[in-house]
């Protein structure tokens, strides 16, 4: 697992504790979210299993061929998206608007054909404004690096994911699991946003845990970590919430 994946899993575990404490509140208003809540727990357990198999070592390297290709393509795309966004901000251009609008939260959960479509959108936009990007310090080599990464990733993107969900038993690479975990967290972001005015205490605690993710934009004023809350907002309190997922599992301590 990479350090980034380890940090994201640790953040998600804090969210799980907050959501466990406040479950009576949000479940009463959105019972359908219980499925995502249980799936969140399942993904965290699966990531722990992957980390244990890998010896708990954070690393910037991937052992899976598809993961390496996917990571290289996303890194190349990220650089170009930042430059396209800057260019579009100074000189609006409908031809690059979609590619310039991608954010890490949109790209991170994608893999396979969905990610490939986004990567091709970014590559085409960058290729169409090469001279303008060059004025902003982007080289042809950087643009061509994304094209080369896409060429490598394309045949691999068609391989079915090994990720299977059966209760709490999940398999797959850490990268696949983290991408799916991001999708779940984003759905909880939307749920909490819909409850901010009604349950501000839950939103504050959620934001406080969520802010460990560098890509998260806080939507309300945080009040600091509260270990799942004291139960004053209708939650079950830290004694239950703190043990809901057990102690912090290595290497996330």
Place of tokens 């899993």: 9
Note whether 24 and 234 are within 8 A (CB).
yes
Residue 213, pLDDT score: 81
Residue 164, pLDDT score: 37
Q: Residues of the chain whose pLDDT is less than 50?
A: 56-63, 161-171, 220-253
Beta bridge partners of 165: 170
Token duo for residue 212: 């460990």
Note whether 244 and 20 are within 8 A (CB).
yes
Place of tokens 């690096």: 145
* C-alpha dist (Å) from residue 83 to 76, 129, 137, 154: 11, 11, 9, 24
Note whether 146 and 37 are within 8 A (CB).
no
Distance from C-alpha of 133 to C-alpha of 131, rounded to nearest angstrom:
5
What are the extents of the domains in the chain?
3-61+173-241, 65-157
Note whether 101 and 121 are within 8 A (CB).
no
* C-alpha dist (Å) from residue 127 to 82, 131, 160, 175, 219: 15, 9, 30, 28, 35
Which among 183, 174, 175, 166 is positioned nearest to 48, based on CA atoms? 174
**pTM score of the predicted model:** 0.52
* Length in residues, the chain: 253
Distance from C-alpha of 147 to C-alpha of 94, rounded to nearest angstrom:
22
Residue 142, pLDDT score: 93
Distance from C-alpha of 227 to C-alpha of 237, rounded to nearest angstrom:
9
Which positions ≥6 away from 7 have C-beta within 8 Å? 212, 213
Which positions ≥6 away from 253 have C-beta within 8 Å? none
Q: Where are the alpha helices (DSSP H) in 58-195?
A: 65-90, 94-100, 104-107, 113-128, 130-135, 140-157, 174-194
Place of tokens 């080369």: 148
């Amino acid at each position: 697992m990479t350090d980034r994946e380890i940090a994201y899993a640790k953040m998600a575990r804090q969210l799980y504790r907050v959501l466990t404490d406040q479950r009576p509140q949000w479940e009463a208003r959105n019972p359908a979210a219980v499925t995502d809540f249980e799936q969140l727990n399942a993904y965290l357990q699966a990531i722990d299993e992957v980390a244990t198999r890998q010896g708990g070592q954070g690393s910037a390297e991937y052992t899976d061929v598809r993961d390496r290709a996917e990571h290289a393509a996303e890194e190349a795309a990220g650089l170009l998206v930042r430059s396209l966004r800057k260019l579009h901000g100074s000189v609006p251009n409908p031809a690059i608007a979609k590619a310039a609008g991608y954010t890490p939260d949109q790209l991170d959960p994608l893999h396979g054909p969905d990610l490939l479509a986004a990567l091709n959108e970014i590559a085409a936009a960058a290729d169409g404004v090469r001279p303008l990007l060059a004025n902003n310090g982007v080289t042809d080599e950087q643009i061509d690096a994304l094209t080369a990464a896409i060429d490598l990733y394309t045949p691999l993107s068609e391989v079915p994911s090994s990720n299977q969900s059966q209760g709490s038993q999940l398999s797959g690479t850490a990268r696949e699991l983290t991408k799916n975990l991001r999708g779940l967290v984003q759905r909880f972001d939307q749920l909490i946003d819909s409850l901010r005015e009604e349950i501000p205490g839950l939103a504050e605690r959620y934001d406080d845990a969520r802010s460990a993710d560098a890509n998260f934009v806080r939507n309300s004023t945080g009040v600091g970590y509260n270990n799942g809350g004291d139960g004053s907002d209708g939650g079950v309190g830290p004694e239950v919430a703190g043990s809901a997922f057990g102690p912090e599992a290595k290497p996330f301590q």
